[in-house]
Chains A and B, each alone.
Chain A
């Protein structure tokens, strides 16, 4: 069996020779081999393919010259498997006649090489027959009664499709690398030339010269769906250009989703897609629902609901009554098991509110641990909950900055408090509460003091490292140079603010601004962010319970149908 990765690969040639050729879809747990044989900063897909090939039993791999990472993947595979059919097919980027002629020539060279390798023979008549009999595959599948999502960008794996289906939505089209049905042209007078013309006239990927024509096709396709998932792969930079461009004119809601082809990232993908679908759902029937719930509110009976936000650092819970008053709240530190911390928060909260669990009409969980809370009736992502919670505390808020223990996010709201856009950083510790904790430990001060100390700074120090590990060693060097703790602390607060600002810019910087999460209690970071955005941040008295409050509001809405 052979493997391939690119839609420009002439798979039908091999099929006509009786060879099985399979699209490689890596699903790996680590990049151990790739880091040893290539370099950590290579595109995650290329690294994933290397891992997959090392673990599987392919007789050969057909690659195309699609990008820098794949070119290097070829070099490594060729060296690693000298006896296998590792073939690099030089694929032109120009799709005019000159490109077609060159590609036909390259494909014929490849056929010769494979005949020599395998002992099989290519029969042009058998190939023509195969092309004649192949039906054109469907490109667009819009279905009624569900959210229809279009997928654009770099190669999307099966996981995205699976998550969409599990959430009651579906992919109406997938214009990423191998997502489209194959386009086969059959020209009886010149079978191979026609076939090559068909290959090169597929929906162009970003490496092709004529990719500028993508805009029109995307515009047409996008009209038929509710929202777009724009997928990028870590260390594959080509598609981010298009995302940056589409953001300027695309009217449809669009989610930027970066994945790295590891199984571990599935949780992060799920949160983002769920939050996106929630925002699309609220767009669709938001107005109707709002009217309905307002009507029901007036004649409502006594009722208690609970929202619980299971974060990496703290588990926060809120009990709310039928008139949206917070009856009690609780903040407990998340231990090693999020389920146990949630149980503790529940117990604590019921005690404070003087209620029994049976008194709670509905419990909605949110946060990273939301699926691990067994007593919750439903779960909603922390993105939607923060939006709802922020709107509850201050309806003027349009942009939220939430810096939690292990992630940070910027959320853009409309006047109804519905999420219009969001970006998350949950890939690295820089710009999160964990980073501040790390630095506080290095400075030998209490995390609660770090912000206050920063306010007394007199000398401006810049922490330049973007990575938290590098930044920590930079701080150690500053300590060694006898720099004042206050100045270092202030430098760190500014580094966090710099990270936060780039997130905020990506959702549009519409005032008013609010900051939530535990780090909002740090006056040093708050001041640094305010300086950066040139505006005041609204901070509610308990910034840690905004997500839980949002979850409680969802619970209230749902308890009332």
Chain B
């Protein structure tokens, strides 16, 4: 992989020297990687995760190659509506991640901060703003964002509209879950469709949306099945595999290709051996570059991330008869919307269904909505006797995440899980022994009586 590293280093240097002239080189690297994921997938990965990586790489490389073929979004933007216009959605979070593949996140973050953007802002948003504001990445025709979960969305898109002239639709997601909120958001979704019709000169077909939601329902059910199977079987993945799955569930949900992929995951995992190790339910983002976490969770048969809330943040079955209302409900009932009690309830539900040994929440730098509720979630899970570890770090900026500190916490937590396990085994053995001696005592007594 020497050539790959050299190319990454070359692109990084060129971008820092001439940000406005390096996009072709960045794109070339993405296209080459797309080929690589298809022709030469990572050997240790389960087949489904290999396919998933290839699909996500294609989404990014193909979209960026054709600026008219996509809109910017955030991770919660309703990609189903864009699909009705044959448009892809590239989110802030996913673009930032891909650019960090060139180790450019620090340059973009510093660029954004030097213009006055707050250092305490989410690093995904800073990377994205820096990449666009520095002129490195070209801009699309249009963008869409929701207010769901993250304060940065509206402000990032408004800032880039002013600086780079990219108009956008803002979808205001109410906090309360009731009929008024649903109608309020459904109306906004309809207006948004009107906007897309006008901008892209295409007629909206409601049947296309209905079909998309049907596929979505099926995909979500299959994904739940996959999570269940992943709690039973060892299916080698990487930290980043879960991010790819999150990307798919947010940017490609409703497409036949993604449905096929999830179907493949469900079938393929059945060919893998049973999983005997510790099952982890992951909450929030995954710092895919962190060495210690990679060591424990990349293709490790002792510890497996069986599911993550960011992949299945919405558990809503969609009523295809009324697609706009259905989409509005899906967004409003997303576990990242509303109170933290709502989130704790859905995470608790996932835990009851999948029986993880532990939950790990990663508090990503700058993400207040997630960090602020972490202690509440821990209390909730304690009530269910599920141990939870809170890790602080940064999903993308290595300078905000100290591997040594994460390693110590993680290892201590895993040791604690092993101890708990031994205790419970000892407890079971004692119960068994106690049970046996009770039976023996009873027999003896019965004999005496006789």
Q: How near does chain B come to A419, taking the closest CB pair, in angstroms? A: 18
Query: B341 on the interface (CB 8 Å rule)?
Result: yes
**Smallest CB gap from A212: residue in B:** B158
Give CA–CA (A473, B401) in the complex, Å: 12
List chain B residues, Cβ under 8 A from A460. Answer: none
List chain B residues, Cβ under 8 A from A71. Answer: 175, 339-340, 369, 372
Query: A142 on the interface (CB 8 Å rule)?
Result: no
Q: How near does chain B come to A70, taking the closest CB pair, in angstroms? A: 9
Cβ contact within 8 Å between B375 and A37: yes
Most buried by A among B151, B155, B372: B372
Query: B374 on the interface (CB 8 Å rule)?
Result: yes
Interface bracket on B: 35 or more
The stretch that binds B, out of A116-124, A230-238, A385-393, A537-545, is A230-238
Residues 20-48 (chain A) with a chain B CB within 8 angstroms: 36-39, 41-43, 46
Cβ contact within 8 Å between B369 and A72: yes
Q: How near does chain B come to A233, taking the closest CB pair, in angstroms? A: 10
Give CA–CA (A46, B151) in the complex, Å: 14
List chain B residues, Cβ under 8 A from A73. Answer: 372
List chain B residues, Cβ under 8 A from A243. Answer: 116
Contact with A along B136-165 (1 / 0, CB 8 A): 000000000001011110111011011100
Q: Mostly helix, strand, loop or mixed at chain A's interface?
A: helix
Q: How near does chain B come to A410, taking the closest CB pair, in angstroms? A: 11
**Smallest CB gap from A43: residue in B:** B368
List chain B residues, Cβ under 8 A from A65. Answer: 175
- Contacts A75-B339, A211-B158; A42 near B368 (Cβ below 8 A): yes
Selected from A36, A88, A93, A241, the residue in CB contact (under 8 A) with B117 is A241
Interface bracket on A: 35 or more
Cβ contact within 8 Å between A247 and B369: no
Selected from A207, A465, A501, the residue in CB contact (under 8 A) with B154 is A207
**Smallest CB gap from A76: residue in B:** B376
21 contacts between A and B (CB under 8 A): A37-B375, A39-B372, A41-B371, A67-B151, A67-B368, A69-B372, A71-B175, A72-B340, A75-B376, A90-B174, A90-B175, A94-B172, A212-B158, A236-B118, A237-B120, A237-B152, A238-B151, A238-B155, A240-B117, A498-B110, A505-B114
List chain A residues, Cβ under 8 A from B106. Answer: 464
Query: A265 on the interface (CB 8 Å rule)?
Result: no
Query: B121 on the interface (CB 8 Å rule)?
Result: yes
Q: How near does chain B come to A40, taking the closest CB pair, in angstroms? A: 8
List chain B residues, Cβ under 8 A from A236. Answer: 118
Query: B170 on the interface (CB 8 Å rule)?
Result: yes
Contact with A along B390-425 (1 / 0, CB 8 A): 001000001110101100000000000000000000
Cβ contact within 8 Å between A99 and B172: yes
Q: How near does chain B come to A474, taking the closest CB pair, in angstroms? A: 8
Q: How near does chain B come to A409, taking the closest CB pair, in angstroms? A: 15
Cβ contact within 8 Å between A235 and B120: yes
Query: A105 on the interface (CB 8 Å rule)?
Result: yes
Query: A374 on the interface (CB 8 Å rule)?
Result: no
Give CA–CA (A244, B114) in the complex, Å: 9
Q: A98-B187, A240-B116 are in contact. List 18 more A-B contacts (CB 8 A).
A: A36-B375, A39-B375, A41-B120, A41-B392, A43-B368, A68-B150, A68-B369, A71-B372, A72-B369, A90-B175, A93-B170, A93-B172, A206-B154, A209-B170, A212-B161, A238-B151, A238-B155, A502-B110
Query: A506 on the interface (CB 8 Å rule)?
Result: yes
Cβ contact within 8 Å between A41 and B114: no
Give CA–CA (A76, B180) in the complex, Å: 26
Selected from B121, B181, B341, B392, the residue in CB contact (under 8 A) with A240 is B121
Q: Mostly helix, strand, loop or mixed at chain B's interface?
A: helix
Contact with A along B106-147 (1 / 0, CB 8 A): 100010011111101110000000000000000000000001
- Contacts A39-B372, A93-B147, A244-B115; A464 near B176 (Cβ below 8 A): no
Cβ contact within 8 Å between A473 and B155: no
Give CA–CA (A256, B117) in the complex, Å: 12
List chain B residues, Cβ under 8 A from A81. Answer: none
Cβ contact within 8 Å between B159 and A473: no
Q: How near does chain B come to A213, taking the closest CB pair, in angstroms? A: 11
Cβ contact within 8 Å between B368 and A241: no
Query: B365 on the interface (CB 8 Å rule)?
Result: yes
Most buried by B among A73, A93, A474: A93
List chain A residues, Cβ under 8 A from B122. Answer: 237
Contact with A along B79-119 (1 / 0, CB 8 A): 00000000000000000000000000010001001111110
Give CA–CA (A169, B392) in the complex, Å: 43
List chain A residues, Cβ under 8 A from B149. Answer: 68
Give CA–CA (A74, B338) in the complex, Å: 11
